[in-house]
Structure 1
Amino acid sequence: MTTSLGGLTPDREITQDTIRSAYDFIICGGGCAGSVVARRLSDNPEVSVLVIEAGGSDRVPTVIDSTLWMQNIGSERDWGYHAEPSPTLNGRTPPLPMGKVLGGGSSINGSVWARGHKNDFEMWAEAAGDPAWNYESVLAIYRRIEDWHGPSDPYRRGTGGLLNILQPNDPVPLVPALIEAADALGIPRVDDINGAAMEGDGGCGLPSVLVQDGNRRVSMAATYLHPVMGRPNLHILLCSEVTRIAIAGGRARGVSFVHRGRRYEVEATREVILSQGAINTPKLLMLSGIGDEAELKAHGIDVVQHLPGVGANFQDHILLAGCCFEYVTPEAPRNNAAEFVFYAKSRSDIATPDLMPVLEEIPFGSEVTATAYDLPTAVDVAWTLAPGLARPDSRGRVRLASADPFAAPRIEANFLGTDTDMAAMLRCVELCRDIGNSAPVAPFVKRELMPGPLKGAAMEDFIRNAAGTYFHESCTAKMGRDEMSVVDANLRVYGIDGLRIADASIMPEISTGNTMAPTVVIGERASEILATAYGLAAPT
């Protein structure tokens, strides 16, 4: 058991001698979706639930303080994955951070609550063949779970739900200037970036954030799990890594895992739910014999179910560590240190905004550009308007490196792998530089640190050296009805009974905006599906 911090309730970690031989439901991963499913299932006292989380406690200062989120990247709360060397990034191997801590990504991310565009969910529903995934259905979930403290919008926003969501309080003085500049460029300011703007062409303004009391993070673990950790039917096992799904007779029977150096096998009398994220979920499926037959055989793994889509369709928003400006007067980050965002189209003939830059209230460079441009290390002397792609056309793949469950997988991210992505990013950099060098923003700019007025091949080279992850890995076990789909509309893994997936890997296409909120929706939808399947009380 960990000690309390700042008056907070201690975490409850079960010890070796209390691990039962069987549970009704085993949830692999206590992240954004896994926390939701665990809470909702355990609301039924007759149901026993085990959550197996590879990371440790989320009750640490760099998790609780939302302005310190970047200090978690590369720490023990990050899986520490890197992409394979990529020719589209000048041979770089960009990091792909993923939360290895209770709460998963919601415990180490920038706390932005971006609900996604209407077109995202209409596409998901079409892919699944089920209107329960469409925009109206998803809106109903959002209204149920939100406690929104921003501009009133009863059709789109909820109040009284579990999740405390607001707009940044007293943002840095730079933010109103950025809004004015973007508006002048034809990206309209909106009262709620998650409202009507996400049914049309986008806009600019304050993000919705999961922050309270100034800078205190509201994670999914803090919201869904901590209040119910005393339940006798809910066991949360930290520092435990699942190594295999036990499958017999075409059904998932349980899991094998390692906890503090000791191996365990636990039975699931009803179902196993995978919520390990878009890298570790396909990895575990393949280790368990579910995946592309040729790839499994290459690693000496017996094929249980041939599903060629496992690990394929990897998508991530591409974030550029660029467009950095030195402050006239240093300004410390506030709230979540990312208090401005805009959504826009790179060209007029597309239906959904494909650009999503975000303010990073620090000097932000890649391992190449930070050195090449000699960026300052003090966090309060510069700010970055980081260009981002919301709807990249590039697709990658997650593969096994070996049959060793503790070996990191091979991740072919393929960022900027299409000409369309480069063209969109060039337009995004242009917009960000125009905003940063505009008259409304001039009082906050001593000088532009990078990239400057590069042209042609020089700008493309800068982009390849600066591009990396937006921390939104997804789509590697997609929901759908084609031969590359891994789960059906009810999140059941094709060909295997008693096995479902509830995390960002099931997205057919990545959502428009940060992926935490849609992943929570996936967790809520999984809970509804399980409640119906087993006659349990539905989530409220």
Structure 2
Amino acid sequence: MYDYVVCGSGSSGSAVAGRLAEDPGVSVLLIEAGGDDDRESVRNPDLWAANLGADTVWHFTTEPDPAVAGRSLPYAMGRVLGGGGSVNVCNWVRGHRNDWDSFARATGDPAWGYEAITEVFRRVEAGPMRVTPASLTPFGTAVRAAAEEAGFPGHPSPNGALTTAARGSATSQKTVVDGRRLSPYRAYVAGRELPNLTVMTGTLVLRVLIEGGRAVGVRVLAGGRVEDIRAEAEVVLSLGAINTPKVLMLSGLGDAAELRRHAIPVVRDLPGVGRNLHDHALLNLVWNTRPGAVLPPPGDTGAGCFWQLDGSPAFLYVTPTPDGTVTFLVGTSMTDTGRVRLASVDPAADPLIRTGYFTDPADVAAALRVLDTVRTVASAPALRPYLTDERAPGTSDPVAHLRATVETFWHQCGTARMGHDDLAVVDSRLRVHGVDGLRVADASVLPHVTMANTMAPSVAIGERAAAFIRG
């Protein structure tokens, strides 16, 4: 028996657990399906890509979709202490004023508005998180200059005035200290003395235990044994935008028709569970490089963060590649949304995932406008010493290129969104509608994806959840 059981040690879950455990009078359990984060692929931020083929991530794939040339897309999410915050690129981006003010309107709660959430970020960045500017290479400096030449005013940070601007460029901010990753887990949990906080790794949450309309604990698989863990006060699901709706559905909370299809007793008909999957689609343009140009090693150049590209919200990072080209990586959201559904009642089975990429013709048109804007940046004078001509899509069909190459930026959210309409799953205080003692605290509660990377918003969600609970 614990007072609070927090499921998932990612950016939100670590913040919730760490903040709740600051009260020495309560006991907190933090459950993680993955293992320890003390490995070089996690601690060294330059090695983040090595995690994509390792046991530190969930190896989800999407359903084959004709809108993306019939492909199934890799759809990894963190499965290690720290979750996504342990395997991402460490970019810290608060999000735009438009994002947070729209969340306040959707929930009717000013606690989610831009002004209120900015105060949360200021407290977080003053401690426990430490945020530092990326070190720009000469090529990264040229990217910044090219962006300004293309009409994107320069800013020192993506988290200052750029959060209210229509467009701009900035040097990235990172959760990296002395060359080592500072994940939210390391900041909120591992780096602090919290004797009343217990961490269980290698533990798969099977379902929430609900008695008389109240969450009273969770059923888990740990060490080959199924165990029930009781929660005296609350259960918090922070499993991410794929596993949170999956566990809700396995617990009898979801679309009644879907639950009955799998012979799951309906505890609460919540048709929005698993719907509204938002993400940033990753588009790419590839440029050939000039012979003799000095480029940094493959990886993040520290420059980017462009917003409202020609009226289509998007962001951009630029990276050299091992084959000697330069890739412009664009993140943009889609008007159509995806969905997460159960494949079976087996808790170990991956769910069915549909992204919604390019199923709406308007999204194709918007992506083409974004590509044209990125071409303006790539051809700006500051990058002429480095780049020559466009390699991809080049002269090929740009729409076919988009469909054949689009991937995810791993910013999944929205599948248990906040609100009060029929498809909302949680209220503005993150309580699951119709179930006492159960909250969701991760990016799945966001009505839509924020303007860029989602680690910082996820930490803010965790902070908000802890404050709501303690209040």
Same structural fold, with TM-score higher than 0.5 when normalized by the shorter chain: yes
Give 2:137's match in structure 1, choosing from 172, 177, 188: 172
Alignment of 1:122-201 (within 5 A): 122-146=101-125, 160-169=126-135, 171-201=136-166
- Is residue 255–residue 271 contact of structure 2 (8 Å, CA) maintained in 1? yes
Check conservation: 1:187, 1:342, Cα contact below 8 A: no
Give the 3-state SS of the residue equivalent to 2:130 in structure 1: strand
Aligned with 1:235 (options 163, 173, 198): 198
The answer to whether structure 1 residue 253 and structure 2 residue 216 are counterparts is yes
1:180 Cα deviation (Å)? 1.6
Q: CA offset at residue 187 of structure 1?
A: 1.4
Deviation at 1:110, TM superposition (A): 0.8
CA distance in 2, matches of 1:73, 1:424: 29
User: Structure 1 residues 231, 163: closer, same or farther in 2, change over 3 A?
Assistant: closer
> How many angstroms does 1:324 deviate by?
4.1
Q: Which residue of 1 aligns with 2:315?
A: 356
- Once the two structures are TM-superposed, the CA of residue 431 in structure 1 deviates from its matched residue by 2.2
Are positions 1:78 and 2:17 aligned together?
no
SS at 2:235 equivalent: strand
Please tell me whether residue 386 in structure 1 is matched to residue 329 in structure 2: yes
Give the secondary-structure state (helix, strand or coil) at the position aligned to 1:315: coil
Q: Does 1:503 align with 2:442?
A: yes
RMSD of Structure 2 on Structure 1 (CA): 1.6
Deviation at 1:507, TM superposition (A): 0.2
Residue 24 of structure 2 aligns to a residue in which SS?
A: coil
Seq. identity, %: 40
Are 2:149 and 2:380, in contact at CA under 8 Å, matched by a contact in 1?
Answer: no
Aligned to 2:8: 29
In the alignment, which residue of structure 1 is the partner of 2:181? 217
Structure 2 contact 137–301 (Cα < 8 Å) conserved:
no
Q: 2:282 aligns with which of 288, 297, 319?
A: 319
Please give the TM-score of this superposition, normalised by the length of structure 1.
Answer: 0.84
The Cα offsets for residues 482-508 of structure 1, whole Å up to 9 and x where unpaired, read as 000000011000010000000000001
Kindly provide the CA deviation profile for residues 265-315 of structure 1, in whole angstroms up to 9, marking residues without a partner as x: 110000000000000000000000000000000011000000000000000
How many Å separate the matches in 2 of 1:76 and 1:321?
27
Indicate the residue corresponding to 1:429 in structure 2.
Answer: 371
Change (3 A) 1:506 1:338: farther
What is the deviation of 1:163? Answer: 1.2
| Alignment CA distance shift 1:384-1:279 (3 Å) | same
CA deviation map 1:126-150 (0-9, x unaligned): 111111111111011011111xxxx
**Partner of residue 438 from structure 1, selected from 380, 389, 392:** 380
Equivalent in the alignment of 1:117: 96
Map 1:404-415 to 2 at 5 A. 404-415=346-357
Residue 56 to residue 324, structure 1, CA distance change in 2 (3 Å): farther
The residue aligned with 1:90 is 69
1:29-76 CA-partner distances (Å, limit 9, x unpaired): 000000001110111111100111001111111111111111111311
- Distance (whole Å) between structure 1 residues aligned to residue 78 and residue 95 of structure 2: 21
Does 391-400 or 477-486 show the bigger shift? Answer: 391-400
SS at match of 1:443: coil
Task: Specify the SS of the correspondent of 1:485.
Answer: coil
Q: Check whether the contact 2:414–2:444 (CA below 8 A) recurs between aligned residues.
A: yes
Asked if 1 retains the 8 angstrom alpha-carbon contact of 2:14 and 2:189, the reply is yes
Structure-2 residue corresponding to 1:466: 405
Asked if 1 retains the 8 angstrom alpha-carbon contact of 2:301 and 2:319, the reply is yes
Verify the 8 A CA contact 1:474 1:505 in the aligned structure 2.
yes
Instruction: For 1:447-526, list aligned pairs within 5 A.
Output: 448-454=390-396, 458-526=397-465
Shift of 1:383: 2.7
In 1: Cα distance, 2:121 partner to 2:129 partner: 10
**Does the Cα contact within 8 Å between 1:244 and 1:284 map onto a contact in 2?**
yes
Local SS of the residue matching 2:209: strand
**Deviations along 1:231-275, whole A, 9 cap, x unmatched?**
331110011100011111000011010112121111000000000
The Cα of 1:447 is off from its aligned counterpart by: 5.2
The one-character-per-residue Cα deviations of 1:438-482 (angstroms, maximum 9, x if unpaired) are: 32112122654422244xxx1100011111111000000000010
Q: Answer yes or no: is the 8 Å Cα contact 1:110–1:338 preserved in 2.
A: no
- 1:39 and 2:4 equivalent? no
Q: 4+ runs of 1 displaced by more than 6 Å?
A: none
Amino acid at match of 1:163: M
Q: Which amino acid aligns with 1:493?
A: V
Q: Aligned partner of 2:5: which letter?
A: I
Work out whether 1:101 is the aligned partner of 2:80. yes
Q: 1:338 to 1:309 in 2, by over 3 A?
A: farther
AA of the residue aligned to 1:425: A
Note if contact 1:254-1:272 (Cα within 8 Å) is conserved in structure 2.
Answer: yes
Asked if the contact 1:316–1:471 (Cα under 8 Å) also holds between the matched residues in 2, the reply is: yes
Offset of residue 347 of structure 1: 3.6
SS in 2 for 1:440: helix
The DSSP-based 3-state class of the residue aligned with 1:312 is coil
Contact residue 355 and residue 424 of structure 1 kept, 8 A:
no
Q: Is the 8 A contact 1:472 1:514 kept in 2?
A: yes
Structure 1 equivalent of residue 271 of structure 2? 308
Q: Per the alignment, do residues 231 and 481 of structure 1 end up closer, same or farther by CA in structure 2, a change over 3 Å counting?
A: same
TM-score (norm 2): 0.96
User: Aligned partners of 1:394, 1:409: CA distance in 2, in Å?
Assistant: 20
Q: CA deviation at 1:346?
A: 4.1
SS at match of 2:98: helix
The one-letter amino acid paired with 2:440 is I
Say whether the 8 Å CA contact 1:193–1:204 is kept in structure 2: yes
The 2-side partners of 1:273 and 1:161 are apart by: 23
Unaligned segments of structure 1, at least 5 residues:
1-21, 147-159, 364-375, 533-540
Q: Secondary structure at the match of 1:88?
A: helix
